[in-house]
Amino acid sequence: MFKKVLVANRGEIAVRVLRACEERGISTVAVFSEPDRTALHVRYADEAYCIGPASSRESYLHIGRIIDVARRAEVDAIHPGYGFLAENPEFAAACQDAGITFIGPSPEAIAKMGDKLTARETVRRNGVPIVPGSERGLSDEELRAEALRIGFPLMIKATAGGGGKGMRVVHDPGDFTRALGAARREALGAFGNDEVYLEKYIPVARHIEVQVLADQYGHTIHLGERECSIQRRHQKLIEEAPSVAVDESTRQEIGRIAIAAAQAVDYVNAGTVEFIYDVAEDRFYFLEMNTRLQVEHPVTEMVTGVDIVKEQIAIAAGRRLRYRQEDIRPKGWSIECRITAEDPFRNFMPNTGTVTYLKEPTGPGVRVESALYRGYEVSLHYDPLVSKLVVWGETRAEAILRMRRALSEYRIGGIKTSIPFHQEVMDSTEFIWGTFDTGYVERRRLQGQGRGSEEHGRIAALVATLVAHEAGRRAVHIGGERADGSTPWWKLAGRVRAMGGRW
Ligand code: MV4
């Protein structure tokens, strides 16, 4: 096992990885930018080194400085967390060249999945369903012909893109040529590469992803799915495991497909295979594979009992997977709310300030992954994510009720956070019944009353038990919402009676 690991990240994820090292008896090294000198990850690590000024380019993205510190501190391995250098094949290769283990997949696997056309083509050859679309190396003229074959609406996506960057929907054949030009220019500006491809557009979709783990000996397992459809401008806000849209046989099927996708690139370590679920057609398609630990990994940990970060370290150290697929038996339900330093009443405007008061929730089924402390200064240099509130419950309803309780206990003074947004979601019918799709956040208007001021939210959540647990079937829409998306409790009661449920 490694003796010393460097964590090339900041914030809550750096702390998360340091905790895994601590449990494995591994010494830890943190790196930090000048404004992060007093950050929690710096205090948690055994040693910490400044790697530059606030600018990420000059600190957390600076491969040379990080490798220098790793050499100086004589670490065996580097964990990249998520974001920053986590999916940079040059960084993974630079670690290798310095004789340091990169806790993640090979540079080749990262590069193959990072190029979205290569990823599509590679997984397709392994029997993975992909959205009907175009292949590589087509001229604008040939793409236009392809567009007519695929049909409208369609999407133009940047080959070097991913995560929603460089995407465009085209509804009308007359708009295609202009959109293609604009997409190419945008891709060139953002990624230095103007290659694009086409996909049939899926108008009503859910974002569902499968966690995989693969060791160095060809053993690959999946840990079930996460539902990530509650997002805004491609930033996920709430995730849960499992998904109400996935039944047991579908779970096994998309699990097998996720394993096939990973094996197509000889994947090693933890990764996530992202699917788009076509609600109208009831079909799953591969979208992309994220070759890193994800923000939302805790919900999978809560339902499977697997410590994904500790497994990542073991895999990188050459250990065999401790689990066979049959050992993975998800239990209960987990939900994560991303707490960001954004004002949900001002269009999620990022805000700055000093945390003047802090009381984080605890109690049964509550887990907080936080970088916050009293005196912490939120700046605009980095991602606004400051904390993740994760709950577990026996049923989805219990998880929702726990989240409501934990959100109401969470007190953060001095900065505005997204907590009021989460409180309203926990009261909304669409969320409680699980009938949402990726358009959910855009459709809603935040009411601004903050936490559910009425009893109906709590009752609605209780009622969800009958759907998620007792009825054991996919969510159904009940209708009758108020303008704020909540539902009068008597309508829920009537629905439950109609379903033959207890009230
Ligand atoms: C799509 C799609 C519909 N049709 N592709 C967004 C993230 C990136 N991984 C791929 N994404 C999507 N790809 C096809 N062919 C819908 C999404 C999508 C999305 C699009 C617009 C607004 C919000 C979205 C949320 C999740 C997924």
pLDDT means per 10 residues, the chain with 503 residues, are: 98 98 98 98 98 98 98 98 98 98 98 98 98 95 97 97 86 97 93 96 96 98 98 96 93 98 98 96 97 98 98 98 98 96 95 97 98 96 98 88 93 97 87 87 69 54 54 44 51 54 40
pLDDT value, residue 52? 98
How far from 33 is each of 25, 55, 157, 364, 433, CA to CA, in Å?
26, 8, 34, 36, 44
Distance 202 CA to ligand 1 centre (A): 8
Distance 164 CA to ligand 1 centre (A): 6
pLDDT value, residue 476? 42
Q: Which residues are known to be catalytic?
A: 292
The Cα 50–Cα 118 span in angstroms is 37
pLDDT value, residue 428? 82
Q: Show the domains of the chain with their CATH numbers.
A: 4-103 (3.40.50.20), 132-200 (3.30.1490.20), 205-446 (3.30.470.20)
127 Cβ contact list (under 8 Å, min separation 6):
257, 260
| CB contact at 8 A, 373 and 421 | no
CA-proximal residue: ligand 1, atom 25 (nearest):
438
pLDDT value, residue 351? 94
pLDDT value, residue 477? 41
Residue 199 alpha carbon, nearest atom of ligand 1? 15
CB count within 10 Å of CB 408 equals 15
Distance 211 CA to ligand 1 centre (A): 19
| Ligand 1 pocket mutation, candidates 210, 243, 287, 291, criterion most atoms within 8 A of CB | 287
Q: pTM for the full model? A: 0.92
Residue 133 alpha carbon, nearest atom of ligand 1? 15
Ligand 1: residues with CB < 6 A are: 131, 155, 163-164, 199-202, 205, 207, 231, 234, 274, 276, 287-288, 438
The Cα 122–Cα 128 span in angstroms is 9
CA-proximal residue: ligand 1, atom 3 (nearest):
202
CA-proximal residue: ligand 1, atom 15 (nearest):
201
| CB contact at 8 A, 355 and 375 | yes
The Cα 68–Cα 126 span in angstroms is 40
Residue 228 alpha carbon, nearest atom of ligand 1? 26
For 217, what's the count of Cα atoms within 13 Å in the CB-facing half-sphere?
8
Distance 396 CA to ligand 1 centre (A): 26
pLDDT value, residue 258? 98
pLDDT value, residue 123? 98
Q: Examine residue 298 and say whether the peptide bond preceding it is cis (omega within 30 degrees of 0).
A: no
- Helices and strands: H and E segment counts in the chain: 17, 22
Distance 445 CA to ligand 1 centre (A): 22
pLDDT value, residue 454? 46
pLDDT value, residue 142? 96
pLDDT value, residue 491? 55
CA-proximal residue: ligand 1, atom 2 (nearest):
202
pLDDT value, residue 461? 57
pLDDT value, residue 488? 53
pLDDT value, residue 162? 81
Angle at 133 between CA 131 and CA 135, to 5 degrees: 125
CA-proximal residue: ligand 1, atom 10 (nearest):
164
224 Cβ contact list (under 8 Å, min separation 6):
210, 211, 241, 242, 251, 255, 300, 303, 304, 328, 330
3-class SS of residue 335: strand
Residue 200 alpha carbon, nearest atom of ligand 1? 15
pLDDT value, residue 475? 41
Q: Residue 448 is encoded by which pair of tokens?
A: 């601004």
For 228, what's the count of Cα atoms within 13 Å in the CB-facing half-sphere?
25
Spell out the alpha helix ranges (H) of 245-375: 248-264, 297-304, 308-316
